[in-house]
A and B are shown apart, each in its own frame.
Chain A
Amino acid sequence: MTSATVSETPEGQWAVADLPPPLAPPAIVLERVTKRFSGDGSRPAVLEDVSLTVAEGEFVCLLGASGCGKSTLLSLVAGLDKPTSGTVETPAGGTALMFQEAALFPWLTAGQNIELALKLRGVDRRDRREETDRLLATVHLSGQHGSRVHELSGGMRQRVALARALAQQARILLMDEPFAALDAITRDVLHEELIRVWEETGLAVVFVTHNVREAVRLGQRVELMSSRPGRFVRRWQVEIDGPRRIESAGVSELSKEITDDLRREIRRHAVLPAAVTAGSRS
């Protein structure tokens, strides 16, 4: 089970809580979810006995090293995959999902990509254009309706992808390392953009990353996961006053603590030279 530890809150900058405060009704409820890809149990489960609740309008960051099953967890929430056991509850209306790659369709223009999302949602043809322009304006890309995907920079593509995700009008936005492939400057700007959009829309966001600072910069809550099998090992409620930046002192301080925990998790997987030789001898 989740073993959240209570620690002091130095200068009231952050708090580590046992349970998330009951903010709002839950948007996502994962109950004792296990996912394994080998049917016979020969390989360890990707996710084992994982429970998670995300409240409406909450911004949760899932943090972990490779193999912690973060992406698998998002696939389960998005309904792209089914858990081996346990239950996944999401509200009607589905979930929006963004990937590391913008994954815009290259045969459509930026605007048409958004219009397709509207069309698949059943929006009337007459309203699509107007709605698309509004969404493009939301991500500060007015006037790029006719741009081809390859004519946009990586950051612009992710913003179109964000607009496309918003076009789904789902109450939940799942993000799978969406800024990992971007340069640091662009990523920094997109953090700001994402927070602004989140505040405006009140979406519940589940943001998967392996970047500790990014998690602390963005999340109201950070959930640390262990690898092989994936489990939640610790959670932090991030309470930093005022506008947060990647270089804020509060972000740095909490990042350091989380990084220490993350490293401890990773070290558990170390195969020591002694163990290797012992294994090969037997």
Chain B
Amino acid sequence: MSSIELSDDVASLEAGLDALDKPVTLREPLAARLRRSVLPPVVAVAFLVAVWLVVVALHLKPTYVIPTPADVWASLGQYWSEGAVQEAVWNSLRRAFVGFAVAAVVGTALGLLMSQFRFVRTAIGPLVSGLQSLPSVAWVPAAIIWFGLSDGAIYMVVLLGAVPSIANGLLSGVSQVPPLYLRVGRVLGARGFTAIRYVVLPAAMPGYLGGLRQGWAFAWRSLMAAELITFSPALGTSLGQLLQIGRELSDMSLVMAAILLILVVGVGIELLVFSPIERRMLRARGLNVGPT
């Protein structure tokens, strides 16, 4: 039949066009990618350590004020052998994860409510944005008065630090969803909660993930402020508490070791958890991954 011939003809035509038109995506080889993304930060860290060594060598201040990298390393080793470092990192991470998880639930619910109901958005939008710029350490005195020197006080500060970022991230993600996607969703029969589940939330994912990422940074920061001030032996060793012990003992090596630990854990979670998720999501959507 001629119609079958014709249809076969279209098929081969299309196959040819597809082969010609399909966008070509090149992927950098692993070695090149590592060289491009890992080498610069390693050089930067080496440079900072070098500057540090020069400053120490100049004898501007005695070594109990500016300790050498070796002193800091030794201090770290000592507290490690006592088990204090492991306990501190574990306690702080545990609190950060629990606090962040609760903040994610609350922030997501808040962000969804704000995105779906104009009244809620107008009513509490400015408040949430305002909270985002309020340093959460400002909540520590209130938290201690309400909850005493307890985990409760710490969690309150972490939540108030992280929730606004997550809610605002989701809100901005939803507001950037192309209206065309919503129309397509409606045509396909997605309404109400189904539309949120299958269209709005996935489409808003880039903004939402950005909010979660910022929420994590705020949670970690708030946690350190809270642990530093909410000082009680009953709470166990934590990174914030290591800082406080170092200050009381005037042990600058310990203080710097604690700062490094806080930095390493914060950056580590960012690099090991959030960056890969974000990169994968953006790449899957064909969006620019940007500098990493």
Contact = CB atoms under 8 A, between A and B. Distances in A.
Interface stretch (A26-34, A42-50, A189-197, A206-214): A189-197
Interface string A172-208: 0000000000000110010011001001000000000
B94 interface: no
B15 interface: yes
A266 interface: no
Interface residues of A, number: 40
Contacts of A103: 180-181, 183-184
B25 A105 contact: no
A153 B21 contact: yes
B159 to A, nearest CB: 29
Contacts of A97: 183-184, 187
Nearest to A165: B187
Interface string A137-160: 000110000001111111110010
A192 B3 CA distance: 11
B6 A185 contact: no
A99 B180 contact: yes
B interface SS class: helix
Interface string B177-198: 0001101101111100010001
B202 A105 contact: yes
Contacts of B65: none
Contacts, number: 101
Contact of B6 (A140, A159, A196): A196
B199 interface: yes
A120 B14 contact: no
B10 A116 contact: no
A12 interface: no
B133 interface: no
B141 to A, nearest CB: 44
B250 to A, nearest CB: 54
A72 interface: no
A185 B284 CA distance: 29
Contact of A189 (B14, B190, B285, B287): B14
A151 B286 contact: yes
Contacts of A189: 10, 13-14, 17
Contacts of B199: 105
Given A103-B181, A164-B188, A196-B3, 13 more contacts: A94-B189, A95-B187, A97-B183, A105-B184, A107-B281, A151-B23, A156-B18, A168-B187, A168-B188, A168-B189, A186-B21, A196-B6, A196-B10
